[in-house]
Structure 1
Amino acid sequence: MNNNKMVERIYPPNQLTPLNEHDYIQLPINFIHDLAQADCLQSLLDKIAFWISQIFQAERTSITLYDRAHFLKLYSISGNQAIPLEFKVPIQQTFVGRVFSTATLRICDDVTLFEELDCHMLAQNGMGSCMDAPLMHKGKCLGTLNVADRAKFHYTKQQAILLQCLANWIGLNIKLHLQVQEMQKLTSTDELTGTFNRRMFTQQSNQHMLLFFNTQTPFSMGILDIDHFKTLNDFYGHQAGDYVLQQMCEHIQSHLNEHDFLARIGGEQFAIIFPTHAVKDAVNRFKQIRTAIEDMKLPYQEEIICFTVSIGVAEAQITDLNAETVFKRADKALYQAKLAGRNRVHFDVPTLSI
Structure 2
Amino acid sequence: MSEANDKVPAGTPAGTPPAAASRPEAIKAIPVRHYGRWISAILVLAVLGLLVNAFANANVNYGAIPDFLFDSTVLKGLRNTVVITVVSMALGLGLGIVLAVMRLSKNPVTSSVAWGYIWFFRGTPVYVQLLIWFNLALIFPVINLGFYKDEMNQFMTPFMAALLGLGLNEAAYMSEIVRAGIQSVDEGQTEASHALGMTQGQNLRRVVLPQAMRVIVPPTGNEFINMLKTSSLAAQAAQYAELLRSTTDIGNTTGATVEMLFLAAVWYLVLTSVFSVGQYYLERRYARGTTRNLPPTPWQRIKQNLGTFRRPEVAR
TM-score interval for Structure 1 and Structure 2 normalised by the shorter chain? under 0.3
Structure with the greater relative contact order (CA < 8 A, sep ≥ 6): 1 or 2?
2
Mark the structure with the bigger radius of gyration. 2
Q: Which has the higher strand share?
A: 1
